[in-house]
Amino acid sequence: MRSSLRGIHVALLACLGLGWALGAAAPLAGQEGLPRLTKNPVANVAFSRLLEAARAEPQNWLTYGGGYDNHRHSALQQVNTGNVGQLQPAWTKQFGKPNGFESTPIVVDGVMYVTTGGHTAVWALDARTGKEYWHHQHYVPDDVAACCDKVNRGVAVADGKVFFVTLDAQLLALDAMSGKPMWKVRFGDPREAHTATLAPLVVKDKVIVGISGAEYGIRGFIDAYDMKTGKQAWRFWTIPGPGEPGNETWGGTEAWRTGGGSAWITGAYDSELDMLYWTVGNPGPDYNGEVRPGDNLYTNSVVALDPDDGTRRWHFQWTPHDVWDYDGVNEVILADLPIGGRSTKALIHADKNGFFYALDRTNGKFLYAKEFARQTWAQKVDPATGRPTINPKAIPGSNYTPGCPGPAGAKEWNHMAFSPQTGLAYIPVIENCAFFRTGQAFFGRGLPFWGSFATADAFGPGESHGFLKAVNAATGEEAWKIKSDHPVMSGVLSTAGGLVFWGEAEGTFHATDAKTGKDLWTANVGSGIHAPPITYAIDGQQYVALAAGWGGWVDGFAPELRSAPRGHSLVVYRLGGGAPPATRTAEAGAR
């Protein structure tokens, strides 16, 4: 995946032996002046409630994707196409962090849980006003080899607990009422360049996480831990070892040991099929494929797993033998769609390689792939199997080879949305090409393992731009698009009010008509937007929340914005703005 000068510097520090240590945690529950929770809002959040979350309680936002199907669609419609122009800020909270703000807030019965980057922290806030109940700070060693900014994408909640990962690859369970740690487990080794940034996923009695660090020659994995105790339940190695199915795709060499395959985006779950879907990232080294002959499974793939024991049911590989850092780790969305004249249990995915895919999620059968962005690496995709025919002129060599998309991909990690009302998927798109070059690949523990590099903006300054594109999920055909001057790096939210919320790299937050693509409302939040918006309701009032803050591997997708304002700002809107009248009255009476 991505790289940066900061990542190289940090990795070199690690190599020089500056050491690593367990992060120190500092829960601040009950700090003088902070309001207190009188009961645990997550006490009754069980698996059965999570299964019905999106349908039965749209006033809450209980999982990373808004539901196990990852639609990021809300049934709330108080804010709609007719009144969205009346949205005004209800409250904001500044966190004083210089890193990218990529978190999805979780809201449970009026309490919001959100993570911040840098030294990973979890915050419990009053979702009406933004007032803090508690926060828990985890101190991350300075020498952790994080390639692309110190970020975190959120929490999972269940069983009275808040689960989150730390950049130094620990999984913690906090008491949701007090913020006090209940258990923690280290599931990766920072000395091996293991890191963690994703929001965990609770399925049944397990907390499921994936590892980051493919740029440093790790061997990736997906883990499950017992929700009550933190005991490891299973591990699925994303790079199969000798004797395991798929190991033969590494050319009979030892390349699997440093094969990459990190799994750093939250998966999806189908309860009817009892199947867990998780995407896997790039192989290592990123750009030199000569040292890893073969398709390099299960990199650039989606794997369907048994959530009870982690065994593989099926897989599909988007980009065999990737030499462009196309990763394949973007989210999957589960939707029942009318494809080919019949209702199909589909899985849709907008890949970094520039193709929008639909698979049969019962068995992994390929249904279709359609280009949604400029691409030059594939001459065609086989309509029966989904396997691409590679353009030989796009394969990196010792000289600089132009190619599209660039290593940031046609779409980054930021989550698209799907509306069952319109049947459209709303994709944040990057139009950005690059020059690729292959070189020697020398593996060193904790050091970047790229096999040369790529440079963004191959066709001149200002050439890169972006779109929000609406695509018919049943066919892959484009319905409408809005162009942005820069790559679109935000996540997306759709609502039953007929709206799509999304953001631009220079800080403009949009509400757009989901059917037509007409912009209906905008606001500038002061910093570029990566995170996906969410919506929730309290006492009959609908809110729209956004974690705004520029950061990440900016040089890879928008180098012209490398000096743009940064910072963590949580911005929440409601119709008419301001705190609800009841809250204002209570605060005034307290004075």
Residue 392 neighbours by CB under 8 Å, 6+ apart: none
pLDDT value of residue 458: 55
Tell me the C-alpha distance between 570 and 34, whole Å.
19
Tell me the C-alpha distance between 6 and 64, whole Å.
28
The DSSP element (H or E) to which 210 belongs, if any, is strand 206-210
- For residue 504, what are the CA distances in angstroms to 356, 482, 486, 530, 557? 21, 11, 7, 8, 13
Tell me the C-alpha distance between 220 and 218, whole Å.
6
Q: Model-level pTM? A: 0.93
Q: Please state, as a whole number, how many other Cβ atoms lie within 10 Å of the Cβ of residue 88.
A: 11
**Residues β-bridged to residue 537:** 542
Which of 163, 127, 173, 133 lies closest to 39, judged by CA? 133
Tell me the C-alpha distance between 195 and 116, whole Å.
16
pLDDT value of residue 144: 83
The answer to whether 215 and 449 are in contact (CB under 8 A) is yes
Q: Would you list the DSSP string of 215-239? A: GGT-B-EEEEEETTT--EEEEEESS
Give me 20's structure tokens.
């690593």
Give me 266's structure tokens.
């939250």
> What mean pLDDT value characterizes the chain?
90
The answer to whether 523 and 508 are in contact (CB under 8 A) is yes
Catalytic residues: 325
Give me 415's structure tokens.
């989550």
Residue 194 neighbours by CB under 8 Å, 6+ apart: 169, 188, 211, 212, 213, 218
Residue 543 neighbours by CB under 8 Å, 6+ apart: 90, 127, 535, 536, 537, 572, 573, 574
**Residues β-bridged to residue 511:** 501, 521
Q: 456-470: per-residue pLDDT in tens?
A: 765 555 578 999 999
pLDDT value of residue 358: 98
Sort 73 into a burial class: Cβ within 10 Å, 0-12 / 13-18 / 19+: buried
The answer to whether 133 and 178 are in contact (CB under 8 A) is no
Tell me the C-alpha distance between 327 and 286, whole Å.
9
Q: Please state, as a whole number, how many other Cβ atoms lie within 10 Å of the Cβ of residue 503.
A: 31
Helix, strand, or coil (residue 54): helix
Q: 149-175: per-residue pLDDT in tens?
A: 889 999 999 999 999 999 999 999 999
The answer to whether 263 and 223 are in contact (CB under 8 A) is no
Give me 531's structure tokens.
């995170």
Domains, the chain, with CATH or none: 5-590 (2.140.10.10)
Mean pLDDT by 10 residues, the chain (591 residues): 37 32 41 81 97 95 98 98 98 90 97 94 97 95 82 97 97 98 96 95 98 94 98 98 97 96 97 98 95 97 98 98 95 97 96 98 98 97 98 91 92 97 98 90 84 71 85 98 96 98 96 98 95 97 96 76 81 90 41 25
Q: Would you list the DSSP string of 114-151? A: EEETTTTEEEEEETTT--EEEEEEEPPPTT---TT-S-
pLDDT value of residue 495: 98
